[in-house]
Amino acid sequence: MILTDFFILLRQELLITAIIFGLLIVKLGKDRSNESILMLINLLLLLNLAAGFFCSTEGALFSDMFRTNKLIVLEKNILNLAIWIISLQSYSWLKTHKHVIEFYILLLSALLGMFFMISSGNLLMFYLGLEMSTIPLAAAANFDLSKRQSSEAAMKLIISSAFSSGLLLLGISLVYGTTGTLTLSELSSQMGHNPLQVFAFILLISGFAFKISAVPFHLWTADVYEGAPIAVTAFLSVVSKAAVLFVFVSILYTTFKSLAELWYNLLFLLALLTIIIGNLFALRQDNFKRFLAFSSIAQVGFILIGISGSSQAGTASVVYFILIYVFSNLAAFGVVSLVSAVTGKEKISDYKSFYTTNPMLAWVLTIALFSLAGVPPTAGFFGKFFLLMAGSANGSYWPITIAALNMVISFYYYLRVVKAIFMDANDKPVQKLVVPALPKLALYICVAGIIVTGLWSSVYDYIYSLSPGF
Amino acid sequence: MSDVPLSHILFVSTALFFIGMYGLFTRRNMITMLMAIELMLNSVNINFVAFNKYLFPDKLDGIFFTIFIITIAAAEAAIAIAIIINLYRSHQSIDVEDATELKF
């Protein structure tokens, strides 16, 4: 291992580590105003995002524990972008908060864990990254220390994530017992249809399904999303889900390739259950965060359909959809967090005739919801279209048809919110909000992203050219 | 030592895992639930050490994994207990049946 290799391949992780230590030093130094700290952090995160685009090379470190290639760098850049947008959006919430730096240290150490998880070439490294990305998030979910709901949400998150990592570990230990290795590249040749290995594989899948909240394991999601502060909810629903999905795709496609006909059916079952139940529960929600939680469960179902395609297009469509999902979900969360920070209102019925007082925010929210639903000019349509196309490549049209029909159901509840914003009368609509510069910038970036990634086809072509085949 | 066959040890660890799972599902006190989760993690540790010693004694992958699991379980317990203390401050109880504001 040459030292320059170390610095080039690990540069994204090293940057995050440097930012964390820098924040610790700022915390120890003299008191500064929240505004200046937030400006500094947002600037650092922007630099971190920009630095990710330079000198991306392939390679492996620490005897294949850590590996990277252009697709992995791109995935990390997507996560960097998401955390920068979340940081810009939480400006008005954090401006008056006492513990700004601790909040960023928790989020950034979770992000660091995700980076190591995405780059892991060994099940030990993968487990360490996974735990490093969930434990700080449980602490962050409890960040409103005085709120009753916040501590309840954090308790639910830590207990269910500890249980799911217990299942995952039993799976890993059985894989180790039957093959004698933990390296992903060596595992792929040794996994067969030995019943113990199939059992271990099912345990691993259920561990993953917990983290991405696919349906039989989704019950914690809505509670945690409702109780946690909105910035943490946005992080949980976008960044941590995206990171686990990236790893899930690469592990299924390379390490467990020999079990393909097993997980092909399993994924379809999980995906259809996830879409249907996510949709049915989203119909009856009135709290906006809960509504977005169930809508994100349904979106994960579509992503699972794309994964089941098991082709180069499968990987590409998943990464492309997650990029779109980052923009559209964060635009929705941005508006909700602005309204909640000023007025404390989080119900959908509070958004009635929102358009009369806040036309700009109403349009942003509408475009975001159109993109989540998949209305054509927005990127969400193209994302879902590519996912379904990838899923139908193997010729199983029935599940694809059911998924496509479920898009119609999802139109009902997304458009119900749009109707409330534009058409329903309300005596006391949300007052006119003053949007600070940084959240406004974040919202503009999201809207631009929703429109540009949809219309500019070379984004998908670029991701497709980086994706490995099956 | 090597008189004990591997299957006996695996039986113990599997039993321990499901006892832990049973405890997690039936107990209502959060500290006890945490203990049940530790039981599950420790049964996995037994698995790793036994596989390493009996089947693959020339490499130490399993033992290393065990050390990391112990470390992470400690970190997880620290955060979980901090959360439980905070929950006790707001709810005056550490029974999960009392934390029921978020539902459906």
ipTM value: 0.93
Of A131, A155, A227, nearest to B30 by CB-CB distance is A155
Neighbours of B40 (CB within 10 A): 24
Domain that holds residue A459: 3-466
**75-104 in B: which are within 8 Å (CB) of A?**
75-76, 79-80, 82-84, 86-87, 89-91, 96, 99, 101-104
Of A139, A152, A281, nearest to B87 by CB-CB distance is A152
Per-residue pLDDT at B104 exceeds 70: no
Percent residues over pLDDT 90 in chain A = 36
Neighbours of B86 (CB within 10 A): 17
Residue B35 touches chain A, beta carbons under 8 Å:
no
d(CA A36, CA A129): 32
CB-based contact A318:A249 (threshold 8 Å): yes
Per-residue pLDDT at A18 exceeds 70: yes
Residue A293 touches chain B, beta carbons under 8 Å:
no
Ranges A34-43, A50-59, A62-71, A121-130: which has the least confidence: A50-59
d(CA A118, CA A243): 7
- Averaged over A238-263, what is the pLDDT? 88
DSSP 3-state of B56: coil
pLDDT recorded at residue A1: 60
Question: For residue A135, which residues of chain B lie inside 8 Å, CB to CB?
Answer: 72, 75-76, 79
CB-based contact B13:B43 (threshold 8 Å): yes
Residue A180 touches chain B, beta carbons under 8 Å:
yes
Q: Residue A68 forms beta bridges with which residues?
A: A59
d(CA A75, CA A14): 17
pLDDT recorded at residue A235: 92
Taking CA A355 as the corner, what is the angle to CA A90 and CA A451, rounded to the nearest 5 degrees? 65
**pLDDT tens, residue by residue, A25-45:** 988 888 888 888 888 888 888
DSSP 3-state of B100: coil
Q: Residue A66 forms beta bridges with which residues?
A: A61, A120
pLDDT recorded at residue A48: 87
pLDDT recorded at residue A377: 83
Mean pLDDT of chain A: 88
- Averaged over A394-408, what is the pLDDT? 86
pLDDT recorded at residue A324: 92
Question: For chain A, what's the residue count?
Answer: 470
**pLDDT tens, residue by residue, B17-63:** 999 999 999 998 999 999 999 999 999 999 999 999 999 888 888 99
Residue bearing the bigger pLDDT, A174 or A145: A174
- Which option is the CATH number for B6-98: 1.10.10.10, 2.40.100.10, 1.10.540.10, 1.10.287.3510? 1.10.287.3510
**pLDDT tens, residue by residue, A317-360:** 999 999 999 999 999 999 998 888 888 888 888 888 888 888 88
- Averaged over A429-446, what is the pLDDT? 87
Per-residue pLDDT at A243 exceeds 80: yes
pLDDT recorded at residue A172: 93
Question: For residue A138, which residues of chain B lie inside 8 Å, CB to CB?
Answer: 79-80, 83
Residue B71 touches chain A, beta carbons under 8 Å:
no
Please give the structure tokens belonging to residue A443.
Answer: 């919202």
- Averaged over B67-94, what is the pLDDT? 91
pLDDT band at B1 (very low <50, low <70, confident <90, very high): low
Rounded to 5 degrees, φ, ψ at A98 are -80, -30
Per-residue pLDDT at B103 exceeds 80: no
Q: How far apart are the first and last CA of chain A?
A: 30
d(CA A366, CA A360): 10
pLDDT recorded at residue A80: 92
pLDDT recorded at residue A60: 81
Q: Domain total for chain A?
A: 1
Per-residue pLDDT at A56 exceeds 80: no
pLDDT band at A394 (very low <50, low <70, confident <90, very high): confident
Per-residue pLDDT at A95 exceeds 80: yes
Secondary structure tally for chain B: helices H, strands E: 3, 0
User: Which chain B residue has its CA at the smallest distance from A134's CA?
Assistant: B76
pLDDT recorded at residue A163: 92
Residue A187 touches chain B, beta carbons under 8 Å:
no
**pLDDT tens, residue by residue, A262-292:** 888 888 889 999 999 999 988 888 888 889 9
